Structure 1
Amino acid sequence: MERLPLTVALISYNEEDRIEGVLKAVKDIASEIIVLDSGSTDRTVEIAKEYGAKVYIENWKGYREQKNSLIKKCSQEWILFLDCDEIPSKELKRSIIQAVRNPKADGYFINRKTVYLGKILNYAFQPDWKLRLVKRSSNPRWEGGNVHEYLVIDGKTSKINGDLLHYSYRDIYDHFSKVLRYSKISAEDMYTKGKKFRLRNIIINPVSAFIKEFFIRKGFLDGIRGFIVALSTTFYTFLKYIFLWEKNIRER
């Protein structure tokens, strides 16, 4: 297969158990693979180089700024941003090839589906459209907070078919460890923006989060996995406001 004028761009840190899966999935379509590592102590960098990736090492600057630094290192006409725990499905790869060869937009949203404890979630976390495939000439940049960063461009966007399979959590311990870490980062972002804690935040917001994930998004159709996800979003929502409360009282 002739490779596309496409850079696959990733950030990494100690991903030796997962990075090979994504590199193996894209090596036949990408003319360039760029990995920006933040000082891995395992075999992440070695594995990336085995797949022909250009590897750069920089100190961690937060998700948003790390990914913005990644953009500057890409040289191809198109950029596909992936995380080390994301693997394009075969249908998505076909859609990417078609979009790059016959573009009808400057950027494309891709739906991401989480693979949780060995099973694809069809309802929980759905839909999860992410702008990931963009023209380098469209001025792509990552904006938002330090954990909920998002990609924006100047130009027309569209959607493509196929799923981006997200192997986000190695196990339940990893899942809830990330919930704890991300909720703290979210609280720091809210605090920086001047948001104040309100008692209703820890009463109404967590309940709303559970209802949205389990009932409105029909997470219950994913069985016990959907229930665990709904609880984790409840836990995340509660924690980020508790962390915000802690920062507010320390300020006083």
Structure 2
Amino acid sequence: MEIPLSVSIITLNEERNLERCLRSVADLASEIVVVDSGSSDATEEIARRYGARFFSKQWLGNVAQNQFSFDQCKQPWVLSIDADEALSATLCDSIRQVMAAPQDGCDGWLINRRTRYLGRWMWHVWYPERRLRLVRRESSKWVGPDPHGHLEVSGPVCKLNGDLLHYTYRDLDDQFAKLISYARTTSAVKYSKGVRMNPFKLLWSPWLRFLRDMVLKSAWKEGYRGIMIAYAGAFSSFMKQAYLYELECRERETDHDPQ
């Protein structure tokens, strides 16, 4: 049964993930909106096969692109998900229940995301991870700095049962390429706002991030995968400071003709 719900997705060359994502919401949503930033694979074909309203839009940045997709939605409620995510059966049932009998005062719903890494679901380091993804359209918007923006809602927020299944990095090459890309974008945004490399953070933030993931978030319980996740997080923290320093160096750079 369709419910008054739009699903909002942004894409770029997501033929590997998109069908699984759309299949999980096909019987749930009244409308699917896909905003693509220039795919050269079968992304558009897959989206149209599932009846999505497909838009081509030059990349605006994560927050602006998601907001553009959000603005195309017409239903009272919007579920924003990524192409590499899919709804579990329990989550679908939970959404149907709250849409059939909405709780008074709930303008947004937190959804717990479970991540699959190197062929196994993570139960500790990246879980639980509640994110605001289901919102009342008229009282919500995308906010925050790129590349990790988020939805913000003006009213009360409640929690949904069931997991949003996250099929993350294809492999280690994909993981580290994305970590570098995110670190570079994060640093550029911060630098534009006057933030500079912090020597203390350059030295200690990677170790603090490693300890946080290993001890506080129990990455060690995930075995070798958890250790790899913790080291990757430390690398990400280091790169954010390193890119800030690189930007400082470039700003101070002066070209001199050889004498």
Normalised to the residue count of structure 2, the TM-score between the two structures is 0.94
> How do 1:72-111 and structure 2 match up within 5 A?
72-104=71-103, 105-111=106-112
Letter in 2 for 1:18: N
Corresponding residue SS for 2:250 = helix
In the alignment, which residue of structure 1 is the partner of 2:185? 185
1:123, 1:164 → 2: CA distance?
15
Corresponding residue SS for 2:151 = strand
1:127, 1:184 → 2: CA distance?
27
User: Post-superposition shift, 1:248?
Assistant: 1.4
Letter in 2 for 1:40: S
User: Post-superposition shift, 1:249?
Assistant: 1.9
Query: Are 1:10 and 2:15 an aligned pair?
Result: no
Query: Are 1:197 and 2:200 an aligned pair?
Result: no
Letter in 2 for 1:108: W
User: Post-superposition shift, 1:126?
Assistant: 2.8
CA displacement 1:3-59 (0-9 Å, x = unmatched): 111111100000001100010011001110000011110000010000000000010
User: Post-superposition shift, 1:154?
Assistant: 1.3
In the alignment, which residue of structure 2 is the partner of 1:135? 136
Unmatched 5+ stretches in structure 1: none
In the alignment, which residue of structure 2 is the partner of 1:161? 161
In the alignment, which residue of structure 1 is the partner of 2:214? 214
1:197, 1:136 → 2: CA distance?
38
Letter in 2 for 1:20: E
1:124, 1:114 → 2: CA distance?
10
Unmatched 5+ stretches in structure 2: 253-259
1:16, 1:198 → 2: CA distance?
40
In the alignment, which residue of structure 2 is the partner of 1:147? 147
Runs of 4+ residues over 3 Å off in structure 1: none
2:89, 2:119 → 1: CA distance?
18
In the alignment, which residue of structure 1 is the partner of 2:256? none
User: Post-superposition shift, 1:214?
Assistant: 1.1
User: Post-superposition shift, 1:204?
Assistant: 1.0
Corresponding residue SS for 1:203 = helix
Normalised to the residue count of structure 1, the TM-score between the two structures is 0.97
2:213, 2:169 → 1: CA distance?
18
1:97, 1:220 → 2: CA distance?
37
In the alignment, which residue of structure 2 is the partner of 1:118? 119
2:94, 2:223 → 1: CA distance?
30
Percent of matched pairs sharing the same residue: 39
Q: How many residues align?
A: 250
Deviates more, 1:17-26 or 1:89-98: 89-98
Give me the CA root mean square deviation.
0.9
Deviates more, 1:123-132 or 1:164-173: 123-132
User: Post-superposition shift, 1:89?
Assistant: 1.0
Structure (1 or 2) with the larger CA radius of gyration: 2
In the alignment, which residue of structure 1 is the partner of 2:44? 45
Corresponding residue SS for 2:142 = strand
1:144, 1:157 → 2: CA distance?
18
